[in-house]
């Protein structure tokens, strides 16, 4: 089982992913939108979250089974 950590609205929380296949970054962003809308991430409530809410977020795979969805931070 993998764990998706989502940072949004000043909070950071985990959501268990009971999946046995690799997720693309797009999959991760889409799942995050759905679970946040549904109130499935403890403390993060945004029922009207837009489809593109996480388009400027990075999917960080730092080893193990943890996936972090965090804002991108490059500057140009």
The answer to whether 70 contacts other proteins (rule: CB under 8 A) is yes
Q: What is the DSSP string of 4-73?
A: EEEEETTEEEEEEE--SSPPPHHHHHHHHHHHHHTT-BTTB--TT--TTTTTTEEEEE-STTEEEEEE--
Binding-residue pattern over the window 14 to 53 for other proteins, x denoting contact by CB under 8 A: ---------------------------------------x
Q: Using CB under 8 A, which of 29, 32, 57, 59 touches other proteins?
A: 57
Cβ proximity to other proteins: between 2 and 46 the closer is 46
- Binding-site ranges for other proteins (CB under 8 A): 7-12, 53, 56-58, 60, 62, 70-76
């Amino acid at each position: 089982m993998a764990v998706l950590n989502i940072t949004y609205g000043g909070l950071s929380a985990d959501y268990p992913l009971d999946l046995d296949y690799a997720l693309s970054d797009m999959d991760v962003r889409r799942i995050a939108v759905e679970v946040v809308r549904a109130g499935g991430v403890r403390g993060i409530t945004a029922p009207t979250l837009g489809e593109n809410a996480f388009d400027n977020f990075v999917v960080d795979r730092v080893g193990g089974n943890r996936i972090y969805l965090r804002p991108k931070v490059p500057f140009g």
